[in-house]
Structure 1
């Protein structure tokens, strides 16, 4: 039980990301991109924890204990995580539609989101295809890391970055939803705790990188583009929910 509490605290500790000073997330684009390395600590710890857990018998034991603890309280699956993974980043566009202005305009935030999604997706799929970790329910060997959790935490950090100067509570709510998404991935027996922890780290880090490199991308790839159009379309193929994004610059 003590190990379970320690493991859960590691995941919930991601909420402390809001306490980072604004300077920790600021870059200066001159000859080189400069950023505060402190911003990498939390996502790096989460990712490292999961990577170590692939081979660590101790962390595998923690995974099993958490699974057993959750199983005692499961009545039936509750697949809200298929929807909640998208809620944080969609909230950015929803808030803007209702007149709550964030840090960036539609074009810039969409470029940032697209960049973060590409980084996150490539990282998650690369690890899924090489790690070969079996899911808790035994259905496949692509459990590590959790893509749902990565998407949710990517969106939570995106929501935080866009609205932290308006109210920190927007970001906190996004991280609460993301943490809930990770919990329900375990509750629904689809992921181990190490999968969820690494997914959270990848999601946070992907968004941070997207903000850091945005000035370079905007200056070199989109400098002549005056407008941006986009559409987000949900889909369901009978087995999985998903979200398609089409962007025109």
Structure 2
């Protein structure tokens, strides 16, 4: 497991990338308060193609069919029995950390001065939207599907929350840095895949749980990247016709353990 982690970190750190000839330096250091007050127009190109939604939709469909199709459900039991036979005492907490690795990598690259697709404020809002979509969907399904975990711990097995978090983060990394090098996406999805597999090996989820979780995670991030340009261009747009900037203020806040934001816009 350690050798796997070291290999992935090596790819992130030293794999050569060819940057575009003209690119605005994008790091947390350049996003000053004045930049935060006016969200830059950097996201019109994020519209996802319909075909890119097919794989996560297939993953979700597979997971849902496991409730009705005996052949798919038998795969769950086959995988479970095989792991219990070969690795009955396996347990590791690594999956709790792997699920966040792609997001940490994105902001680490940002701090190191490697420009991503979007500025810090846009990127952060995109990830927050993705997490809101993912967490809301997964939470509702966990409480309505009523599937018992393999370890009989509770009836919140479907879909896998860790897997959905990991794959949402992997797609986030791929969206932000995939144009610089496809290896960024490979690294992100490697961490996500490892997270999902470990959830099964740790006896916390069925195979169909992690497949569905992967689908919901990817779909959540893709949906955020599809919807945000619409929101951005309608609520954070400059008034070019009147040759003046629309008064838009967006200030994140954190007080007494409660996160929030202040939003003011002149129409």
TM-score (norm. length: structure 2): 0.72
CA shift in 2, pair 1:42/1:163, >3 Å: same
Paired position in structure 2 for 1:68: 81
Specify the alignment match of 2:161 in structure 1: 147
Q: Deviations over 1:87-136 (max 9, x none)?
A: 11221111101111100010000110010000000110011011001000
- Aligned position for 1:182: 196
Partner of 1:97: 111
Q: 1:18 maps to which residue?
A: none
Residue equivalent to 1:235: none
> What aligned pairs does 1:58-137 form with structure 2 within 5 A after superposition?
58-74=71-87, 75-137=89-151
The alpha-carbon distance between structure 1 residues 109 and 159, as it changes in their structure 2 partners (threshold 3 A), is same
Classify 1:94/1:247 alpha carbon distance in 2 versus 1 (closer, same or farther; 3 Å): farther
* Aligned partner (choices 34, 56, 71) of residue 43 of structure 1: 56
CA contact (8 A) 1:136 1:190 kept: yes
Asked whether the equivalents of residues 28 and 35 of structure 1 are also in contact (C-alpha less than 8 Å), the reply is no
Match of 2:173 among 136, 140, 159: 159
Q: Determine helix, strand or coil for the equivalent of 1:145.
A: coil
Residue 23 of structure 1 corresponds to none
Cα 1:175–1:67 shift into 2, 3 Å: same
Hey, what does 2:26 align to over in structure 1? none
Flag structure 2 segments of 5+ consecutive residues without an equivalent: 1-42, 238-246, 263-267
**Conserved in 1, the CA contact under 8 Å of 2:44 and 2:229?**
no
1:207 alignment partner in structure 2: 221
Q: 1:178 to 1:228 in 2, by over 3 A?
A: farther
Q: TM-score, normalised by structure 1?
A: 0.77
Give the Cα–Cα distance (whole angstroms) in 2 for the partners of residues 178 and 245 of structure 1. 29
Query: Unpaired segments of 5 or more residues in structure 1?
Result: 1-26, 232-243
| Whole-Å separation in 1 of the counterparts to 2:62 and 2:151 | 22
- What do the CA deviations read for 1:158-181 (whole angstroms, capped 9, x no partner)? 000000111111110000000000
Describe the SS at the equivalent of 1:72. Answer: helix
Q: Report if aligned partners of 2:48, 2:225 keep a CA contact under 8 Å in 1.
A: no
Q: Compute the displacement of 1:227 (Å).
A: 6.2
Larger of the two Rg values belongs to structure = 2
Count matched residues.
208
Deviation at 1:72, TM superposition (A): 2.5
Cα 1:82–1:57 change in 2 (3 A) is same
Match of 2:69 in 1: 56
